[in-house]
Copies of this chain bind each other. A is one copy, B any other.
Amino acid sequence: MSRKMKNTKNYSIPGFLFGSVSCGIKNRKDDLAIIYAEQPATAAAIFTTNRLKAAPVLLGMDRIKKGVCQALLLNSGHANAMTGSEGEKAAKATTLAIARNLKIPPSLVIPSSTGLIGGKFPAEKITKALPRLVSTLSPGGAKKAAGAIITTDKFVKIASRKIKIGGKTGTVRAIGKGAGMINPNMATMLCFVLTDVKISKSFAAKTLREAAGTSFNRIIVDGEMSTNDSVFLLSSGAAENKTISSASPDGRRFSKAVSEVCFDIAQMIVQDGEGATKVARIEVEGAKNVADADKAARAVGNSLLVKCALFGEDPNFGRIASAAGASGVKFNPAKLDIWIDKLKVVSRGKETQNAEKKAAKLMKKSEFTIKIRFSEGKAKAFVLASDLSLDYVRLNSEYRS
């Protein structure tokens, strides 16, 4: 995985076309994109659990039920959230309009929006730009489309794997966006996993759920949950392999590739977290059960004081231990061990001697691991967390323009 994408790569995936234009929601920048499957694609999706679901999420939840999708109509600059019944009408209207342009049923189109919450959704601007958008459709437009859905992201996020399926080579690519934020004028997390590998609907849903569990559900920038978070998996089936419907060797290879591209995108989102200067992998092991391990890892990753210590490159082990202690997980403090990378900094509940100076050096790196070990059992879990920087506060306290 590299942050820098080679310009020569076109990121094509057999069976898919991509388009993008500026429709005027954001000033002159591309803000409207389409992912189009030449044939109806097998599809699965996961959406935000926020009670305040944006209009496109509500429509997408309904339309994905059939397990088929042919076009994803994407816009940045406006989230179409907190827009009431008008927003819902607008989401429907724009998908109807693109369906007409593409000559496909509107039920096979799912919209996805990201940007400002509230205000009037600029449906007219989008509708007006659709013929132009359709005219840009090409197999090589993935990267440009990825650029049209970013908001405050500092870089475009694409991850890819090639896999052998039967005698054929299949492609799994993910296009993501997000700087870990949820909110007005900021990125919300979206990810579109596209493949030419033929899979069944139920296998698509299972694979995506598992991949999200080890990627997007493991990252913490600011503990916020969007009104628009959505992750899609679409299969064009153009690889013409025998349809995968179970965890056969082919199925396992495919699921692994999906998990890996999702993890890559998730990691890029944390790296690109608003104001983030550090990514800490927080591992908890020796917990009584996975729920405990998970709870403790999340508590440490969400701790404001830990995040400030990460930003300050301050080996403040008391904060890490205290956040774990406040997580609600039961453990014996006298058996608590903590490591920064391979350096043991807390042993049996007490700071190890002379660890501080060495740990401070390790924390100067942009990525490192904080490992916390209880001695209560064998369960483990991890999260990827960014730090809390001055720029985070600056970016999010400035008045919306």
Q: Find residues 81-116 in chain A having any chain B CB closer than 8 Å to their own CB.
A: 81-84, 116
* Most interface-central of A302, A305, A311, A329 (chain B CB within 10 A): A305
Query: Which bracket fits the contact residues of A?
Result: 35 or more
Q: Find residues 208-258 in chain A having any chain B CB closer than 8 Å to their own CB.
A: 222-227
Known: A51-B326, A314-B399. 19 other contacts (CB 8 A): A50-B322, A50-B326, A52-B321, A52-B322, A52-B333, A82-B350, A116-B318, A118-B351, A183-B305, A227-B318, A227-B322, A227-B325, A304-B304, A304-B392, A308-B392, A308-B393, A308-B396, A313-B399, A390-B394
**Copies of this chain, whole number:** 2
A293 CB–B CB distance under 8 Å: no
Shortest beta-carbon distance, A95 to chain B, in Å?
A: 21
- Which of B52, B119, B308 meets A351, CB within 8 Å? B119
Q: A116–B356 Cα gap in the complex (Å)? A: 14
Q: Contacts A321-B82, A322-B50, A322-B117: A316 and B183 contacting too (C-beta < 8 A)? A: yes
Instruction: Check if B225 sits within 8 Å of A326, measured CB to CB.
Output: yes
Q: A336–B81 Cα gap in the complex (Å)? A: 13
Contact with B along A336-355 (1 / 0, CB 8 A): 10000000001011110000
Instruction: Check if A117 sits within 8 Å of B51, measured CB to CB.
Output: no
A400 CB–B CB distance under 8 Å: yes
Q: A346–B116 Cα gap in the complex (Å)? A: 16
Q: Contacts A51-B329, A82-B351, A181-B305: A393 and B321 contacting too (C-beta < 8 A)? A: no
* Most interface-central of A83, A225, A325, A334 (chain B CB within 10 A): A325
Instruction: Check if B400 sits within 8 Å of A222, measured CB to CB.
Output: no
Q: A227–B319 Cα gap in the complex (Å)? A: 10
Nearest residue, chain B, Cβ from A311: B397
Instruction: Check if B51 sits within 8 Å of A333, measured CB to CB.
Output: yes
Q: A390–B398 Cα gap in the complex (Å)? A: 12
A303 CB–B CB distance under 8 Å: yes
Return 7 A-B CB contacts under 8 Å, by A number: A118-B351, A223-B304, A304-B396, A308-B396, A309-B396, A311-B397, A392-B393
